[in-house]
């Protein structure tokens, strides 16, 4: 057992922290700003993704061109305004876990603005390089084929 511990310590010292933890849960912890999320989100979408050290996450993505609601009331939008907002935004939260060997994030969705996802689990392959997180969503809320790569930058 001492040999294994000594080897683990030697590897931990020899490998730079970013290489040793890049694809781990610890590597995800923090706040991430959206850089890009595929064509369905339009040009310059906005978003924030938060991963806590205790296994919780929260995500929101919005199109940059969401309409303002003329009535200035979230609950009194026109059908057209409401449709544009629903189609142009997603938010969800819950618990997450990481399979370091498979390099995947499992999101256990507790609540979502797309209620069909409530109580579901989604697994997404991911890569962290430096301060950038990339993944693909295999089951996009708009339906159809998997979304292109979603890119997030660590908030500094």
Looking at the DSSP bridge assignments, the partners of residue 37 are: none
Confidence category of residue 23, pLDDT binned at 50, 70, 90: low
Q: How many CB atoms lie within 10 A of CB 92?
A: 21
The predicted pLDDT at position 51 comes to 98
pTM of the predicted model, to two decimals?
A: 0.81
Q: Across residues 95-103, what is the average pLDDT? A: 95
The predicted pLDDT at position 137 comes to 84
Residues near 32 by beta carbon (within 8 Å), at least 6 away in sequence: 48, 49, 50, 51, 133, 152, 153, 154, 155
CB of 83 closer than 8 Å to CB of 63: no
Strands 121-129 and 89-99: unpaired
DSSP assigned state of 117: G
107, burial (CB in 10 Å: exposed 0-12, middle 13-18, buried 19+): buried
The predicted pLDDT at position 24 comes to 77
Q: What is the pLDDT of residues 38-64, one digit of tens each?
A: 888 889 999 999 999 999 999 999 999
């Amino acid at each position: 057992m001492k040999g294994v511990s000594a080897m683990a310590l030697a590897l931990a010292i020899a490998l730079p922290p970013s290489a040793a933890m890049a694809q781990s849960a610890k590597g995800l912890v923090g706040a991430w700003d959206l850089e890009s999320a595929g064509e369905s989100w339009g040009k310059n979408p906005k978003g924030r993704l938060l991963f806590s050290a205790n296994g919780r996450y929260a995500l929101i993505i919005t199109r940059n061109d969401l309409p303002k609601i003329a009535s200035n009331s979230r609950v009194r939008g026109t059908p057209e305004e409401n449709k544009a907002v629903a189609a142009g935004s997603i938010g969800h939260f819950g618990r997450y876990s990481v399979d370091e060997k498979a390099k995947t994030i499992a999101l256990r969705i507790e609540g979502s603005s797309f209620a069909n996802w409530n109580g579901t689990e989604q697994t997404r392959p991911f890569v962290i390089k430096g301060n950038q997180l990339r993944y693909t969503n295999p089951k996009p809320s708009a339906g159809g084929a998997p979304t292109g790569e979603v890119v997030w930058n660590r908030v500094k």
